Amino acid sequence: MSQTVTLIPGDGVGPEIAAVVRTCMTALGADIEWDIQDAGAAMIEKENTPLPDRVLDSIRKNRIALKGPVETPVGKGFRSVNVRLRQDLDLFACVRPCKYYEGIHSRITAPEAIDLVIVRENTEDLYAGIEFMNTCGEEAPFLKFLKEQQGIVLGCDTGISIKPISISGSERIVTFAFEYAKKNGRKKVTAIDKANIMKFSDGLFMQAAEDISHKYPEFAYEHKLVDNMCMQLVQYPEKYDVLVLPNLYGDIISDLAAGIIGGLGVAPGANMGDDVAVFEATHGSAPDIAGQNKVNPTGILLSTVLMLRYMELTGAADRLEQSIAAVIKEGRHVTADLKPAGSPEPPVGTREMGNAIVEKINAL
């Protein structure tokens, strides 16, 4: 029986990369129906919201979505679509695999061995949005509380962001990381934080990770401090497998890891909850190249591979991934960002790269 997936093409280059996904999925013969839903900047003019309720209803019904990038309107009073999706659907885990594909330029000396998955907590930490303006007197009850109850005096020029990390939130994300490791044949989980300095927040995450690790004795488990981890990922990325982190460190380490495998243009991602998952490329709407047939479709296609694996359509996932890898390795039919400087052949467009991938799918 065919499965229905919500497809949100999104803004900017979104419709171009969504079209490539649809062409590849037709070639794969995957038994998937698309429920196409518009969200993003264009919807503000039409419906006065970037995320109409019917888009959320569609995802709730189908449980799986593939999403193109959407613009975050600056200073227009609308909540970010991405933040709303995460909050309203309780997508508490951000999953970013970082695997090197031969043919992509990396600054790392032996990138072939890089095959990491970053699991980032998506709801807590300094991104919870609990912030205080730098005002004084009666208007700053928090500064007053700190002074009166804790003896800590902060000047009126101090801004404050609060970092909430809970045992339940930490246990949930670490359990997710081990379960992901189990389903995806991974061997090791590394929990990362700065527990030596922030004992009450990161210390609690570290303890929760340690406790949960005892339930999964079949996996190697280790703990690392985030500053050391940054250096480790640049020097020895091949030593790492699944990484689990609180929100802020996860955000930063995800981009660092994307950088060592060739950049955001080739990095896939997903936001997941207990039984809803939204897959998306990690790059933005790239307005500077929108509508020009220049965008690299690899990020969204690799996100589609993740989606197919999640749907247990393993054969289709393998064929798609092998076809993308083959086109990148040959290096002939790839977009400009994947062409090395001084390459004798010109780059191809988004559609043409998609067609080259379809040829490989048909040949497999």
By annotation, the residues acting in catalysis are 127, 194, 227, 251
Q: Per CB under 6 A, does 271 bind ligand NAD?
A: no
Q: Per CB under 6 A, does 9 bind ligand NAD?
A: no
Q: Per CB under 6 A, does 288 bind ligand NAD?
A: yes
| Beta strands 268-272; 3-8: pairing state | unpaired
Q: Per CB under 6 A, does 258 bind ligand NAD?
A: no
Which residue, 191, 171, 35, is CA-closest to 92? 171
Q: What does the alpha-carbon distance between residue 130 and residue 160 come to, in Å, rounded to a whole number?
A: 8
Q: Per CB under 6 A, does 277 bind ligand NAD?
A: no
Cβ distance to ligand NAD smaller for residue 44 or 220? 44
Q: Per CB under 6 A, does 286 bind ligand NAD?
A: yes
Q: Per CB under 6 A, does 285 bind ligand NAD?
A: yes
Cβ distance to ligand NAD smaller for residue 171 or 337? 337
Q: Per CB under 6 A, does 337 bind ligand NAD?
A: yes
Task: Pick from 250, 280, 311, 348 the residue near ligand NAD by CB under 6 A.
Answer: 280
Is residue 3 within 8 Å of 334, Cβ to Cβ? no
| Beta strands 160-161; 131-132: pairing state | antiparallel
Residue 74 CB, nearest approach to ligand NAD (Å): 8
| Beta strands 115-121; 93-99: pairing state | antiparallel
Task: Pick from 70, 94, 209, 242 the residue near ligand NAD by CB under 6 A.
Answer: 70
Which residues are paired to 191 by β-bridges?
Answer: 223, 244
Contacts of residue 6, defined as CB under 8 A and 6 or more positions apart, other chains included, come to 34, 35, 37, 55, 58, 59, 62, 64, 65, 66
Residue 270 CB, nearest approach to ligand NAD (Å): 11
Q: Which stretch binds ligand NAD (CB under 6 A): 1-9, 183-191, 282-290, 326-334?
A: 282-290
Number of residues counted as binding ligand NAD (CB under 6 A):
19
Q: What does the alpha-carbon distance between residue 196 and residue 200 come to, in Å, rounded to a whole number?
A: 10
Count of H-run helices and E-run strands, the chain: 12, 12
Cβ distance to ligand NAD smaller for residue 84 or 188? 84
| Beta strands 268-272; 277-281: pairing state | antiparallel
Q: Per CB under 6 A, does 265 bind ligand NAD?
A: yes
Q: Per CB under 6 A, does 299 bind ligand NAD?
A: yes
Restricted to residues 10-69, the positions that interact with ligand NAD (CB under 6 A) are: 69
DSSP readout, 259-285? Answer: HHTT-GGG-EEEEE-SS-EEEEESS--
Binding mask 179-218 for ligand NAD (x = CB under 6 A): ----------------------------------------
Residue 262 CB, nearest approach to ligand NAD (Å): 11
Q: What does the alpha-carbon distance between residue 67 and residue 278 come to, in Å, rounded to a whole number?
A: 7
Cβ distance to ligand NAD smaller for residue 191 or 286? 286
Identify the H or E element spanning 160: strand 160-161
Q: Per CB under 6 A, does 71 bind ligand NAD?
A: yes
Q: Per CB under 6 A, does 295 bind ligand NAD?
A: yes
Alpha-carbon torsion 245, 130, 71, 308, what sign?
A: positive
Tokens found for residue 343: 């390459």
| Beta strands 242-245; 188-193: pairing state | parallel
Binding site for ligand NAD (CB under 6 A): 69-72, 82, 264-265, 280, 283-289, 295-296, 299, 337
